[in-house]
Chains A and B, each alone.
Chain A
Amino acid sequence: MIKGKIIDHTSLIIMIFSYIIIWMLKTSFPEYSQMLTLLLYYIAIAQAYNIFLGMTGYVDFGYVSYFGLGLYGMALGVSYASQNNLSSSEAIILGMILSVILAGSVAGVVGGIALRLRGAFFAIATIGLSQALRYLIEGAKIWGGAEGIIIAKDLRKLFGEEGFSYATIILPDTGIFILAVATGIIMYLIRISRLGYGLLAIKEDEDAAKVFGVNTTLYKFVAFIISAVLTSLVGSMWTLKVTAIYPPESFNITFSVEFIVIVMLGGGGTVLGPLIGASIYSLSKYYLGVYLPGLQLTVFSIILLLIVLLFRQGIVGELRSFLYKHEIVRKIIR
């Protein structure tokens, strides 16, 4: 934190408050529980991605790779644990560690090479990553190849028949909630730290930031790794929910774009942006699917286009510049 600066915690308080409301809704309306978990999942990933995309302005099209590697890390951990008769908690911890190691190392290599590029070049350089990982898994037939990994049997063995619903519903739901809160807080801490100001300086003008003594390469790299690792943890929890993973779904580039849309919708680089973006995105996607089945993507594309034209800096960003005169609004939507 920067000394001598009075830090205002309004946006953090609003964020925590929203999380509490979501959790209360989730416990009091069990019929909406899975929809709210989906919402929390989008929030967690959007917050994690925001640390990189929102703060630096670099677009990573391969971002789904870190999510996919998280999925695979947990699946590998669980199947290894079940083969070697480890306990259930050891299996989960092993899975999370594997997720972090896989995503962290791939992010390290890709970040080390591609972060030397800027803007459009970076976006295009990363676009093939998820496909490359998918083809490697399918082509070299590692980690089950195209057949994927199915962990339902292993989970039954580890948690017992009666513990199965705990392992596939309660545990991942709680995990995703904790991750959503944690990524939000980490994002906030980065936002008010030296790192955060450095990153925002990079977003505004990278050359100027460099001249003023910001270690741009290091800052971008750190944000990239933190972001990738957090997303992989969300992925590792998601594996427990879906219990079967396949390369095409795990490394689907559409998810990358989906994550970008959510961050942009809310407003990149703001603490509350991902929360708002994820809520609007997941709810509108869900209800468009219910009321206009078959047409939801067509309607969605038109809405997206309108949002891009009307809210160029995202909803939170646009509100901020529109209402910047009013101090209270400024506090809320920082």
Chain B
Amino acid sequence: MDPGLIIFLFLQGLVLGSIYGIVAVGLSLIFGIARIINLSHGALIMWGAYTALTFFVGYNLSPLGSLFIAIVVGLSLGASIFYLVLRRLIGAHELTTLLATFALSIFLEEIARLNYGLDYRGFSWSLGVVKIFDYRLTYSSILAGVIALSTVIILTLFLYKTRIGSALRGVAQDPVGAYICGIDVNKIYALGIGIGFGLAMMSGVIITMYNPTGINPYLGAPYLLKSFVIVVLGGLGSIIGAYVGGIIFGLAEVVLFPLYDYLHFHSPMSMTLFTEFVILLILLLIRPYGLFRR
């Protein structure tokens, strides 16, 4: 194997892992703050991708601009969904919130299906390619990875350096205690869920930067499934853990796929996904609550 390929795969793994990371961070954040497993995360990712598509095709706006639109829409959607539905379900059994977010995900997917149809769509936004030895990596995908990384850094700074950030962490730790300290717990929940929804829609835009084709109403499902594995890997509720889990996952994927291809498996992609799940089970056996959980 030549060293160029190894470096290329490593870089590609970092980019892919960074994208998986940002998807998982949103999921982990919502769980950490409101104890809700957001099954509508995949549908929100899909809507993010459609946002990028619509604004690119309709208004010639680059996905970089769509990022901000996605964040704003996600924030307001998350806050309104919280006040309309989820507020009544805080502290209820996990099953209840699971069903509520599942219903929301069907609703969002169906709206997209009625609006855009089932066709696979795409657009071409090219910034050129960078050549790493003999292999090509698009600039837009590198940009996607960098944006994902900087978002996580900004989010971490927000959570640990600002007053609202510490209020968010306070509510995550102990809602009753936070309430006694004078924090408006409902507002904080709305904000936390809003940020989570915003991150989900934003990661949809980032995904189109990595791969601007194959946008369809069920785009989010595989990302949702993977981010569940990643979140367990990193420890539910941990932001850094989710991101690092994503990186590990991305790297594992770019290594495993050529390996199975080399070993002449019938479908290397399927075997890669299977291995990822086996890794999860083994990890759960060793560290039941994730790698990065204290």
Contact = CB atoms under 8 A, between A and B. Distances in A.
Interface string A128-148: 110110111011110001100
Interface stretch (B3-11, B124-132, B185-193, B277-285): B277-285
B184 interface: no
Interface string A214-242: 00000000000000000000000000000
A139 B35 contact: no
B271 A139 contact: yes
Nearest to A117: B288
Interface in B229-275: 229, 231-232, 236, 260, 265-274
Nearest to B271: A139
Interface stretch (B86-94, B144-152, B157-165, B196-204): B86-94
Contact of A136 (B92, B110, B232, B270): B270
Contact of A132 (B92, B232, B277): B277
B232 A139 contact: no
B96 interface: yes
A295 B107 CA distance: 10
A128 B98 contact: no
Contacts, number: 141
Looking at B94, B267, B270, which has the most chain A CB atoms within 10 Å of its CB? B270
Interface string B199-235: 0000000000000000000000000010011011000
A59 B102 CA distance: 14
A305 B281 CA distance: 32
Contacts of B228: 124, 127-128
Nearest to A257: B102
B31 interface: yes
Interface in A289-334: 294-295, 297-298, 300-302, 304-305, 308-309, 312
B236 A121 contact: yes
Looking at A116, A302, A309, which has the most chain B CB atoms within 10 Å of its CB? A309
B274 to A, nearest CB: 4
A253 B95 CA distance: 16
B100 interface: yes
Given A120-B35, A121-B289, A135 B95 contact: no
21 contacts: A113-B281, A116-B284, A116-B288, A121-B289, A125-B232, A127-B229, A135-B277, A138-B267, A139-B268, A139-B270, A139-B274, A253-B225, A297-B106, A300-B106, A301-B104, A301-B106, A305-B85, A308-B89, A308-B100, A309-B89, A312-B89
Interface of B: 31, 35, 37, 85, 88-89, 92-96, 98-100, 102-104, 106-107, 109-111, 114, 225, 228-229, 231-232, 236, 260, 265-274, 276-278, 280-281, 284-285, 288-289
